[in-house]
């Protein structure tokens, strides 16, 4: 009976020893010696200077632009037009608009856009030296958005520009604009000619044609200012922008200077410009029209209506004779088909009108290439003057 007890004691002692094994005395850890913070090494590369010939070319470019600005900016004027608008509740309300223009002679004639001075009760011009003077409207051509105003100031204050040519312009050449965007006097912007011969539609008005497109920044207030070439000669009149935000997005348009040289002398002499006119209205031929009317061509102009005793009527052209449904439209069919004017192909009334405006004048005889009953013929027409309402 003693054996179990004898064996049990050592076991309990061992178990107790297992539970009560003292931890070894903890020793303090040594404190590490602080290391110095490393200083970052920054390597700065010294750029290699540009070759002297590259810098010289850049300096020449800068000097060219500076020279053009210094020579031409004194010819650019700030135009303020004031008009009276009638409000149903408040009665007459003064309105003010601003734009640009440029001096063309020592007599004080200034070219600008028609829309800058349209409906103005009074016009004021501010010159580069700060001189202000009232201006009178000499003449206007709404169709080409051109107007001429005149100021009376001492001749030494007038610095006319040189008019260049727009017939030999090339896409990619430099375009320099000077004007008063948002009222900021004589602001210069530089770009290139982006395209030529653009036609843009105007709400409620005839299209503007043969325009110069440029990416030189044009904004509200630039209208009427000059577009220049590298020699400082006027190549166009800044007139419009295409933008979803009402400010420049790099698509601006200018009336070509050849149009200015054709129209402005008439405005100064007569106060108006006589627009050449055929006296007809026609459809642009489309594939649907060709198929629906069984036409012998797929492009050109189908004459629908002639102005009674107008130039085309007197020359013997034929208008439409019958009404025919083509798809969802009723068209007047049976008239002559015009395919070209003076050998230049035309496919729309806009193209025909632009050709007349830019290449002809009242009293000139033009040749129309016409298809009649499948036969090709040439008809000569002496151009008349377009009536005010046509």
Catalytic residue among 78, 81, 100, 145: 145
The Cα–Cα gap between 297 and 317 comes to 18
* Pair 306, 313: CB distance under 8 Å: yes
Q: 82-88: long-range contacts at Cβ-Cβ below 8 A with a sequence spacing of 24 or more?
A: 82/120, 82/121, 82/122, 82/123, 82/124, 83/119, 83/120, 83/121, 84/121
Exposure class string for 29-43: b at 16+ Cβ within 10 A, else e: eeeeeeeeeeeeeee
Residue in this structure with the two tokens 């030494």, named with its chain if needed:
156
CA 19 distance to own-chain centroid: 95
Task: Give catalytic status of residue 115 as yes or no.
Answer: yes
* Pair 328, 345: CB distance under 8 Å: no
The phi and psi torsions of 112 (rounded to 5 degrees) equal -150, -175
Q: How many helices (H) and strands (E) does the chain have?
A: 7, 22
Task: Give catalytic status of residue 109 as yes or no.
Answer: no
Catalytic residue among 78, 109, 115, 275: 115
What is the DSSP track for 338-374? EEEETTEE--SHHHHHHHHHHH--TT-EEEEEEEETT
Task: Give catalytic status of residue 309 as yes or no.
Answer: no
Catalytic residue among 223, 258, 313, 336: 223
Number of Cβ within a 10 Å radius of residue 296: 13
The Cα–Cα gap between 182 and 98 comes to 8
The secondary structure of residue 107, as a DSSP letter, is: T
Number of Cβ within a 10 Å radius of residue 247: 13
Residue in this structure with the two tokens 């001075």, named with its chain if needed:
117
- Residues noted as catalytic: 115, 145, 223
């Amino acid at each position: 009976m003693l054996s179990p007890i004898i064996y049990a004691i050592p076991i309990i002692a061992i178990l107790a020893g297992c539970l009560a094994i003292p931890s070894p005395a903890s020793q303090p850890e040594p404190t590490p010696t602080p290391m110095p913070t490393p200083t970052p090494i920054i390597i700065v590369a010294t750029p290699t200077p540009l070759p002297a010939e590259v810098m010289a070319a850049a300096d020449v470019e800068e000097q060219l632009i500076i020279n053009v600005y210094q020579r031409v900016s004194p010819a650019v004027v700030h135009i303020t037009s004031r008009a009276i608008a009638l409000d149903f509740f408040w009665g007459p309300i003064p309105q003010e608009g601003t734009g640009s223009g440029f001096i063309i002679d020592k007599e004080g004639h200034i070219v600008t856009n028609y829309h800058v001075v349209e409906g103005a009760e009074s016009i004021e011009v501010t010159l580069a030296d700060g001189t202000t003077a009232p201006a009178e409207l000499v003449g206007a051509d709404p169709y080409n958005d051109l107007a001429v105003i005149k100021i009376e100031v001492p001749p030494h204050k007038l610095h006319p520009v040189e008019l260049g040519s727009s017939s030999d312009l090339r896409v990619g050449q430099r375009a320099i604009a000077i004007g008063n965007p948002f009222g900021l006097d004589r602001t210069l912007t530089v770009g290139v000619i982006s395209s030529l011969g653009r036609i843009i539609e105007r709400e409620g008005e005839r299209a503007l044609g043969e325009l110069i497109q440029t990416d030189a920044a044009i904004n509200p207030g630039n209208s009427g200012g000059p577009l220049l070439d590298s020699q400082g000669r006027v190549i166009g009149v800044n007139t419009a922008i295409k933008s979803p935000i009402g400010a420049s997005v790099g698509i601006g348009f200018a009336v070509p200077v050849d149009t200015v040289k054709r129209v402005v002398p008439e405005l100064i002499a007569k106060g108006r410009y006589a627009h050449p006119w055929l006296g007809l209205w026609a459809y642009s031929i489309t594939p649907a029209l060709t198929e629906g009317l069984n036409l012998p061509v797929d492009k050109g102009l189908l004459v629908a209506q002639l102005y009674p005793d107008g130039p085309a009527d007197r020359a013997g052209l034929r208008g439409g004779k019958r009404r025919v449904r083509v798809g969802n439209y009723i068209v007047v069919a049976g008239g002559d088909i015009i395919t070209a004017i003076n050998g230049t192909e035309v496919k729309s009334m806009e193209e025909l009108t632009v050709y007349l405006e830019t290449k002809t004048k009242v009293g000139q005889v033009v040749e129309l290439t016409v298809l009649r009953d499948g036969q090709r013929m040439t008809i000569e027409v002496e151009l008349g003057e377009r009536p005010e309402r046509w």
